[in-house]
Amino acid sequence: MMMFMWLIFIIMFITGNMIFVLKHKHLLIVLLSLEFIVLSIFFFLLIFLSYIEYDMYMLMVFLVFSVCEGALGLSILVSLIRTHGNDYFQGFNLL
């Protein structure tokens, strides 16, 4: 059962990274793939900390930082859509 959970974590992490690399034209898809990677890391931490019977306090800290990261990404997405009209990366200059 434990190997099945590790396999699920590895598949989730690799899938999130592949989506991040292959679908990089839209900012929304990039942000969703990053959130999927964060979710897989949370799943890994949950399995690891429960396996070593450690306190789950670090999971709360990790969730707080991941929510802050998601809110920051969403605010950047909204500001880019308001200024440029879409979320394509080639539509604006990053410099």
Q: Is residue 93 part of a domain?
A: no
Side-chain-side CA neighbours of 44 within 13 Å: the count stands at: 14
Within-domain flag for 61 = yes
Q: What is the CATH number of the domain that holds 78?
A: 1.10.287
Chunk the chain into consecutive blocks of 10 residues (it has 95) and report each block's average pLDDT, rounded to whole numbers: 85 93 86 93 90 87 93 90 80 60
- The answer to whether position 55 is within a domain reads yes
Q: What integer pLDDT is reported at residue 87 of this predicted model? A: 79
The answer to whether position 39 is within a domain reads: yes
Domain that includes residue 72, residue range: 2-84
Number of structural domains (the chain) is 1
Q: Three-state SS across 16-59?
A: HHHHHHHCCCEHHHHHHHHHHHHHHHHHHHHHHHHHCCCCCHHH
pLDDT number for residue 95:
47
Tell me whether residue 37 is in a domain: yes
